[in-house]
């Protein structure tokens, strides 16, 4: 049996995939509210897999309605050691064409209406987000993309917007001037919360369209995005298949596994009991009695 339990958060177009052994949908409750859906459990190449459709099966949830805290919490409760996020994105680079894949290195977060932390009044913690993704898992994902014959680029910067509307042309040009490479609506605060949950996180992006900075092109529309998304989702499934095939049986410890050790600043004497109770999965290692 492999040491890894890989959580996969599927974005637009990736709701399920074949090849899982002992597959079953399981409902996991969270004190942080309603997660997007049940989780699909199974095994692929000996790796325990926990799949969660980010928007819910059938895509009932808009980006701002996704309860990222509950989603990360249920993945932690399901025993995940690492999380691979799959997102459908728009491109802010001419050479990053629809149909390609991009592996995220950095984020710029422009979301405004979403809870961004498991911590707060009575129990304060500050995790580092200088390097917001797991270099090891991202490297494995890059090699898996190569093995799956997917055209891809690495070390891209992801711009997260609130949505649900797409950008204006002026906004899109501004984001390009900032050095952003792709744009989407869901990986933040997801990546922040994964870090607080001590879950190494990597983000694979499926490019579905050029954002509207290209003045000679039409504006972004859902119909054209969906047309590309079907093929991209099949590529994402091949990538996950290759990734589970190549993961080493022994999972070496990651610095993220213990990042809460240096993050909590509140005096234990004043920790809020109700918040501590909600952290029973997220902080199980850090706050164990």
Phi, psi of 184 (to 5 degrees): -165, -170
Band the pLDDT of 72: cuts 50, 70, 90: very high
Closest CA to 238 of 142, 139, 140, 148: 148
Distance, CA of 195 to CA of 200 (rounded, Å): 7
Confidence of residue 19 (pLDDT cuts 50, 70, 90): confident
Q: HEC states along the chain?
A: CCCCEEEEEECCCCCCCCCCEEEEEECCCCCCCCCCCCEEEEEECCEEEEEEECCCCCCCCCHHHCCHHHHHHHHHHCCCCEEEEEEEEEECCCCCCCCCEEEEEEEEEECCCCCCCCCECCECECCCCCCCCCHHHHHHHHHHHHHCCCCEEEEEEEEEECCCCCCCHHHHHHHHHCCCCEEECCHHHHHHHHHHCCCCEEEEEEEEEECCCCCCCCCCCHHHHHHHHHHHHHHHHHHHHHHHHHCCCCCCCCHHHHHHHHCECCCHHHCCHHHHHHCCCCCCCCCCC
Q: Alpha carbon of 30 to those of 48, 62, 197, 275: distances in Å?
A: 21, 20, 14, 13
Backbone angles phi, psi at 8, to 5 degrees: -120, 120
Res 271: pLDDT: 97
pLDDT band at 45 (very low <50, low <70, confident <90, very high): very high
pLDDT for the residue 260: 98
Instruction: Give CA–CA dist 231/99, Å, rounded.
Output: 8
Residue 10 dihedral angles phi and psi, to the nearest 5°: -90, 130
The full length of the chain comes to 289
CATH of domain 82-278: 3.40.50.1580
Q: What is the pLDDT of residue 289?
A: 59
Q: What value does the mean pLDDT of the chain take?
A: 93
Residue bearing the bigger pLDDT, 241 or 220: 241
pLDDT per residue as tens digits for the range 84-109: 999 999 999 999 999 999 999 999 99
CA distance 121 to 124: 6
Model-level pTM? 0.95
Q: Assess whether pLDDT exceeds 70 at residue 14.
A: no
Check whether 41 has a pLDDT greater than 70: yes
Residue 1 reports pLDDT greater than 80: no
Please give the pLDDT value at position 145: 97
pLDDT at 220: 64
User: Residue 16: which pLDDT band, with cuts at 50, 70 and 90?
Assistant: low
pLDDT at 15 over 60: no
Task: Summarize the confidence of residues 182-186 as an average pLDDT.
Answer: 97
Annotated domain spans of the chain = 82-278
25-45 mean pLDDT = 97
Q: Determine the pLDDT at residue 17.
A: 65
Is-contact 202 85, C-beta < 8 A?
yes
Position 234 confidence tier, pLDDT thresholds 50, 70, 90: confident
11: pLDDT strictly greater than 70: no
Return d(Cα 157, Cα 154) in angstroms, integer: 9
- Quick one: average pLDDT of 56-77? 96
**What per-residue confidence (pLDDT) applies to 77?**
98
214 against 111, higher pLDDT:
111
So which residues are the catalytic ones? 209, 211
Burial call 158-168: b when 16+ CB within 10 Å, e when fewer: bbbbebeebbe
Token pair 């744009």: residue: 183
Query: Nearest Cα to 247, choosing from 81, 40, 2?
Result: 2
Higher pLDDT, 160 or 215: 160
pLDDT digits (tens, 9 = 90+) for 198-210: 999 999 999 999 9
């Amino acid at each position: 049996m492999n040491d890894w339990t890989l959580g996969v958060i599927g974005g637009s177009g990736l709701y399920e995939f074949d090849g899982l052994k002992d597959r079953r949908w399981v409902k996991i409750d969270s004190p942080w509210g309603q997660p997007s859906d049940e989780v699909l459990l199974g095994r692929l190449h000996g790796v325990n897999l926990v799949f969660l459709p980010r928007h819910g099966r059938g895509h009932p949830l808009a980006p701002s309605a996704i309860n990222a805290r509950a989603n990360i919490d249920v993945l932690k409760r399901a025993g995940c050691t690492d999380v691979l996020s799959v997102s459908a994105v728009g491109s802010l680079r001419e050479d990053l064409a629809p149909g390609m894949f991009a592996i995220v290195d950095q984020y710029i977060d422009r979301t405004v209406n979403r809870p961004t932390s498991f911590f707060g009044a009575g129990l304060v913690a500050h995790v580092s987000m200088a390097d917001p993704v797991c270099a090891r898992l991202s490297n494995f994902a890059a090699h898996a993309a190569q093995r799956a014959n997917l055209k891809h680029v690495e070390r891209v910067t992801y711009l997260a917007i609130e949505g649900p509307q797409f950008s204006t042309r002026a906004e899109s040009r501004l984001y390009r001037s900032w050095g952003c490479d792709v744009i989407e609506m869901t990986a933040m605060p997801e990546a922040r919360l994964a870090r607080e949950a001590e879950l190494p996180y990597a983000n694979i992006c499926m490019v579905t369209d050029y954002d509207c900075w290209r003045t000679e092109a039409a504006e972004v529309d859902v119909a054209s995005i969906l047309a590309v998304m079907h093929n991209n989702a099949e590529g994402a499934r091949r990538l996950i298949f290759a990734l589970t095939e190549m993961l080493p049986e022994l999972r070496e410890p990651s610095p993220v596994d213990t990042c809460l050790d240096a993050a909590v600043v509140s005096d234990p004497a004043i920790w809020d009991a109700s918040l501590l109770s909600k952290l029973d999965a997220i902080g199980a290692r850090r706050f164990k009695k």
